Structure 1
Amino acid sequence: MSTRAGTPAQPSDLIDVHELVDAYYQRTPDMSDPAQRVVFGTSGHRGSSLDGAFTETHIAAITQAIVEYRAEQGVTGPLFVGADTHGLSAPAQTTALGVLEANGVHAIADEYDDYVPTPSLSRAIIRYNTDHPGAPQADGIVITPSHNPPRDGGFKYNPPHGGPADSDATGWIANRANQIIEGGNREVRFSEPSGVDSYDFRGAYVDDLKNVLDMDAIASSGLKLGADPLGGASVGYWALIAERYGLDLEVVNPAVDPTWSFMTLDWDEKIRMDPSSPSAMASVVARAGDYAILTGNDADADRHGIVTPDGGLMNPNHYLAVAIQYLYSHRPGWRPDAAIGKTLVSSSMIDRVAASLGRRLWEVPVGFKWFVPGLVDGSVGFGGEESAGASFLTLDGTAWTTDKDGILLALLAAEIRAVTGKSPSELYRELTEQFGDPAYARVDAAAGPEQKARLGKLSGDDITATELAGDPITAKLSHAPGNGAAIGGVKVTSEHAWFAARPSGTENVYKIYAESFRGPEHLAAVQAEAKRIVDAALA
């Protein structure tokens, strides 16, 4: 943790936006450098033009590859395109629209040239395909690196189900895009975009909120609410939500600045719009006492941060547990067998809440894409990640979004406060009285590329240990119990604790997630033993 964490950004911390955009158009990627090739992680291709990793060459090639992929899959309906407030997003959208138009794809952009949050685009795809049964299906492109620093750009494909593309799709698109770049982008078709159709993403999304939340309860409560978009794509949405539903809601900071000069620095002195980070949210948390509920979103509004006057910034795991407890007690329109979806590195408090509700727990690997099938058919009522990303079904049990929705989860906190009369922080304290008070943390451990590759392929059988911090090991997992998909690492559990280890996709480290219901000291012992267990398996 840097000594500057949580302090206001200084001029020396800010990017030069002109330099960033110039590099986007002028720099040509060096394909012999793996860091400059197209690589789709769990949330699309990300990188900076300053590093030669996110340039016009990349975006033109990726878009051309998406055109070919959707044609191969028989997707011939409109393609919704939206972008967030990062400096590279607008140039990338211009490039993408030019490639789409030249290829005869019916692209749809925002009617008011507004920023488009990820959940708004996901909702648009779902609504279009629901409202046009039997017609050619729609899909979409979201241009965002999410909460990443201002120097980064991001580009993500959402197929007709509305959520993140699976690894088969992203692998195909990335491989094809790299082939196109290696061929000098000669296969790219491009024309200046001119005939793009439009759609009111914001109006449609805001009008629809009454179908997924009890907006009347929020309005009649008279609660004073605050929402900080953190300079992101939700900035125009919050004002319209307040107006449309008559809420006493203040947009705390409506500024949009591609340098994010108003942010406080994250733990490592980077400007990062992470609403779950106490350092990045320091200026927001300072105003906790001014509102019954105060919330934050990242740049594309797929993540949420919940601030209460009695608890400050909530740990994402704590809020997910409260949200699940509330929703499954206040959504009679959901299927009685609708499961609770969680990633395997989320808190075991969720397991205990699920058991108390008599609901099936559906535990999947890291990545929101795993929740998509269940949200689509209603067999999963809620899907959430420990990194403050979640979504859930509409009041009648149909799909809302199949991508993370930070606006939705922020408004849910207001509904919870309005209906129960208690803040989410109060409700979490009640859960700890019932189930125990777990200590949870994530740390990084050094690992070279070869070690990371081995970790990603480890089997539970490779773990020889029989105890974890004094307790017998009850499970050694390399595949998620919910859907049998590979974890890309391992998870080891005991009666009172667990740890999971996964390689980082961008750094020479592996991540150790750990939790103990025996307190912080036992958690520290679990973390130390986790490193020994994993290092032994990798030796």
Structure 2
Amino acid sequence: MTKMFGTNGVRGIVNKDMNVQLALQMGKAIGSVFTGAIAIANDTRLSSDMISSAVCSGLMAVGCDVYDIGMVPTPALQYYVKTHDDVVAGVMITASHNPPEFNGIKVIEGDGTEASKEKEGEVEEKYDEEIPTVAWDKVGNIHKVPGAGEAYVDAIVSKLDIPMIRKAKFKVVVDCANGAACFTTPLLLKKLGVRCITLNGTPQGEFPGHPSEPTEENLGDLKKLVKDTKANLGIAHDGDADRCVFVDNKGNYVPGDITLALLARSIVMANRGGYIVTPVATSSLIDELVKSAGGEVVRTAVGAPIVSRKMMEIGGKFGGEENGGLIFPDHQHCRDGAMAIGRMLENICRNGALLKQISTIPVFYTEKRKLTCPNELKESAMQFLDQNTEGVSKNKTDGLKIMFDDGWVLARPSGTEPIFRVYAESKDRDRAVELADQYETMVRNFISSA
């Protein structure tokens, strides 16, 4: 188990956990594990230049050339790495949805996927060593590479039914969250013939519009503007734009579980079957819709790299997480917020307005709770829950999922923050609340008494 890399890279508060000394050594470690040219990119955070410069210095110190593609979404870097044979890996400077005082370092393998736990482990081992540097005449160089965002958008457009989307004459509102999607998503929609109204469309690392996590409570302006402008759809990204969530044409926030299930059903129908891959935290709605369309759901631990690698292993047709991270393997095996927009527009063209589609599916009630939990208490909290749920059907794929006849609870510590999450689901709203209350109280009491 890696001690520095969480679910999505190494993250921390800038100039505390995430400082230039760490970034320099991390650059040297990455460059020692992935020998060759490395591509690097960043989101809009104020500290990105500082952290990126330190990582680049470490990479060049061990002899790696660096291709800096600038401020682009994480999946744009992944596409660049995947499509350039002279690049052996990538580094994304981002903390995704975390507050602006955070930043992070995410490693991308040569095939464009997020680094496996094995590769992250190799980087950590090297990080702890005294890493030798190369001679003065063997240091790497840095090359600024323009146009990577545009190439990424063009690749997405090439996969979509452009005439069908243009014919629909969509009007959408996009909340770019002052993040990495500020240029690429409006460009994508322009190329698709979609009228795009933008919110928080300037790159500002303080995230002045709202926190960069696209949760319902952060998207009040988007919901209102969709209604006020009579738009067909609202779209919201996180900070590095590998995720997106939607708002229907009446201004209702659409949970990521529903988006995932609707697109999964559509893709299974188009492929006449197939595997859909998603973590244990995803709503049971996806099981019902995928099964009804002739497909099969495969569950994994939480984390996009785990989902994508399982998809590659079994030939999954589609996958994703309940947080809006969707993976389309015909494009690339990683979460891709911009491709999700294109596929959702196609889905609406074929199956009707999002609100109409939602009205025809079963209703599951999900309660999501988040507790502050010191990292050193996470393991013992899990043991406490496990010991106090004897005799109940349990799944330990990731965290502890406790199954009941009328619902389930998932207790799981965050891999990136000092947070403990409790999810509960049932077709009965009161039962979902009851389960969430019960297990949240158990965790809270344990933490307070520890």
TM-score w.r.t. structure 2 length?
Answer: 0.89
Q: Could you tell me whether the CA contact under 8 Å between 1:125 and 1:161 is conserved in 2? A: yes
For residues 384 and 276 of structure 2, the distance between their equivalents in structure 1, rounded to whole angstroms, comes to 27
Alpha-carbon separation, structure 2, partners of 1:188 and 1:58? 19
**Alignment CA distance shift 1:524-1:228 (3 Å):** closer
Q: What is the aligned partner in structure 2 of residue 517 from structure 1?
A: 427
Asked if 1:176 is matched to 2:126, the reply is yes
Deviation at 1:366? 0.7
Match of 2:394 in 1: 476
Residue 342 of structure 2 is matched in structure 1 by 411
Secondary structure (helix, strand or coil) at the match of 1:442 reads strand
The yes-or-no answer on 1:116 pairing with 2:72 is yes
| Corresponding position of 1:21 | none
The answer to whether the 8 A contact 2:394-2:401 is kept is: yes
Matched, 1:149 2:99: yes
Post-superposition CA distance 1:31-58 (Å, at most 9, x none):
xxxxxx98211111111224x1111111
User: Does the 8 Å contact 1:108/1:199 carry over to 2?
Assistant: no
Which of 201, 219, 226 does residue 288 from structure 1 map onto? 226
Indicate the residue corresponding to 2:403 in structure 1: 493
The 1:90/1:505 distance shift into structure 2, 3 A limit, reads same
- Tell me how far apart the structure 2 counterparts of residues 126 and 235 of structure 1 sit (CA, whole Å): 23
Q: How does 1:27-46 map to 2 (within 5 A)?
A: 39-46=4-11
1:309 matches 2:249: yes
State the Cα distance separating 1:506 from its structure 2 match: 6.0
Structure 1 unaligned segments of length 5 or more: list them: 1-36, 130-135, 265-271, 395-399, 467-472, 480-486
State the partner residue of 1:238. 185
Q: Deviations over 1:348-374 (max 9, x none)?
A: 101111211221211001111112224
One of 379, 388, 392 as aligned partner of 1:453: 379
Give the Cα–Cα distance (whole angstroms) in 2 for the partners of residues 159 and 195 of structure 1: 19
1:428 and 1:421, CA in 2 relative to 1: closer, same or farther beyond 3 A?
Answer: closer
Task: Indicate conservation of the 8 Å contact 1:223/1:418, yes or no.
Answer: no
**Hey, what's the Cα distance between the residues in 2 that align with 1:370 and 1:175?**
21
Shift of 1:337: 5.4
Change in Cα spacing, 1:379 to 1:429, as seen in structure 2 (3 Å) is same
Paired position in structure 2 for 1:323 = 263
What are the superposed Cα offsets for residues 504-524 of structure 1, whole Å, 9 maximum, x if unpaired? 446665321110112x21112
Structure 1, residues 250-304: CA drift from partner, whole Å, max 9, x if none?
A: 334422222222x13xxxxxxx2112x1222122122122211121111110111
Q: What per-residue deviation string (whole Å, max 9, x for no partner) do you get for residues 124-169 of structure 1?
A: 222235xxxxxx6632111100011111111110112322212222
Deviation, structure 1 residue 455: 4.5
Equivalent pair of 1:371/1:380 in contact (CA under 8 Å): no
Contact persistence 2:365–2:426 (CA under 8 A): yes
Bigger shift: residues 115-124 or 522-531: 522-531
- For residues 89-100 of structure 1, the aligned pairs below 5 Å read 89-100=48-59
Q: Which residue of 2 aligns with 1:217?
A: 164
CA distance, structure 1, for counterparts of residue 409 and residue 144 of structure 2: 49
Per-residue deviation, residues 2-26 of structure 1 (Å, max 9, x unmatched): xxxxxxxxxxxxxxxxxxxxxxxxx
Displacement after TM superposition at 1:68 (Å): 1.2
Q: 1:65 to 1:38 in 2, by over 3 A?
A: farther
Q: 1-side partners of 2:92 and 2:274: how far apart?
A: 29
Output the aligned Cα RMSD. 3.0
CA distance in 1, matches of 2:369, 2:320: 21
CA contact (8 A) 1:465 1:533 kept: no
Instruction: Report whether the alignment pairs 1:106 with 2:70.
Output: no
Alignment partner for residue 298 of structure 1, among 233, 238, 241? Answer: 238
Shift of 1:64: 0.4
Change (3 A) 1:449 1:48: closer
- Secondary structure in structure 1 of the residue aligned to 2:216: coil
Distance in 2 of aligned mates of 1:148 and 1:206: 25
1:378–1:288 CA distance, 2 compared to 1 (3 A) = farther
State the partner residue of 1:64.
28
Query: For structure 1, which segment, 343-352 or 443-452, has the greater mean C-alpha deviation from structure 2 after superposition?
Result: 443-452
Q: Among 431, 440, 443, which residue is 2:366 paired with?
A: 440
Change in Cα spacing, 1:510 to 1:212, as seen in structure 2 (3 Å) is: same
The 5 Å alignment of 1:524-535 reads 524-531=433-440
Change (3 A) 1:59 1:146: same
Letter in 2 for 1:516: S
Distance 1:419 1:292 in 2: 14
How much identity, in percent, do the aligned residues show? 22
Structure 1 counterpart SS, 2:258: helix
Distance 1:230 1:197, change over 3 A: closer
Give CA deviations for 1:145-204 in whole Å, capped at 9, x if unaligned: 001111111111011232221222223323432445xxxx88699999854152521121
CA–CA separation in structure 2 for the residues paired with 1:195 and 1:444: 42
- Determine the structure 2 residue equivalent to 1:482: none
Instruction: Sort the Cα spacing of 1:123 and 1:390 in 2 relative to 1 into closer, same or farther, 3 A.
Output: same
Equivalences for 1:121-132 in 2 at 5 Å? 121-129=77-85
In structure 1, what is the Cα distance between the partners aligned to 2:97 and 2:119? Answer: 23
Of the three residues 331, 339, 343, the one matched with 2:275 is: 339
Once residues 375 and 100 of structure 2 are traced to their aligned partners in structure 1, the CA distance between those partners, rounded to angstroms, is 27
